[in-house]
Amino acid sequence: MERTLILIKPNALQRGIVGDIITRFERKGLRLAGMKMLFMTDELVAEHYAHLVERPFFPYLKASMQAAPLIACCLEGAEAVETVRLMVGVTNSRKALPGTIRGDFSMSGEQNVVHASDSVENALVEINRFFNPAELYDYESAVTRFEYGGEESQKYM
Ligand code: IDP
Ligand code: MG
């Protein structure tokens, strides 16, 4: 099944909403394939946000990602990348729709509580950036047949 990476950012850890965020994904039916707490090094920030290093706000973004540890999760499900991005909402939380994670938990474009991979291709790169293969788990789900239809099981699993 498709996998994606989410980072529950240091601002969410400080605010004590890590559980609320993970609960959203669990309730949706996205399965945890891996989870860890870590501190983002200079190297990790530079790699992960390479597309933004030239932007004026980059020093603020870097500081915010290193303000405390974060929680990295690998989530699994049919079309997980797109589904998770929809659940997270647009970058600027003030414009993110109510019902999305950013829309419900944040007022900020920078301190926007979660990162989520934006394409299947990037998800593979980002999962490898944060997890060793041995830290990701394949396990049988007892409820998959109640979460997905027969045709979907053929197509996505
Ligand atoms: P995304 O997180 O929605 O994929 P990206 O454009 O990849 O958005 O930006 C990565 C992160 O950089 C954002 O989540 C946010 O924390 C920060 N960021 C993006 N644009 C801005 C901005 O204009 N001002 C301040 N921070 C920003
Ligand atoms: Mg992004």
CA distance 99 to 128: 30
Question: What per-residue confidence (pLDDT) applies to 140?
Answer: 84
Q: Is the CB of 119 under 6 A from ligand 1?
A: no
Mean pLDDT, the chain, rounded, equals 97
Residue 155 has pLDDT above 90, yes or no: yes
Terminus-to-terminus CA distance in the chain, angstroms?
Answer: 5
Domain that holds residue 18: 2-156
Residue nearest (by alpha carbon) to ligand 1 atom 15: 110
Residue nearest (by alpha carbon) to ligand 1 atom 17: 110
Q: How confident is the model at residue 44 (pLDDT cuts 50, 70, 90)?
A: very high
Question: Which ligand is closest to the CA of 60, given by its number?
Answer: 1
* Beta strand spans in the chain (E): 3-8, 31-38, 70-76, 114-116
Return the CATH number at 16. Answer: 3.30.70.141
Q: In what order do the strands lie in the sheet with 31-38?
A: 31-38, 70-76, 3-8, 114-116
Q: How much is the CA Rg of the chain, to the nearest whole Å?
A: 16
pLDDT tens-place string over residues 54-88 = 999 999 999 999 999 999 999 999 999 999 999 99
Q: How confident is the model at residue 110 (pLDDT cuts 50, 70, 90)?
A: very high
Number of domains in the chain: 1
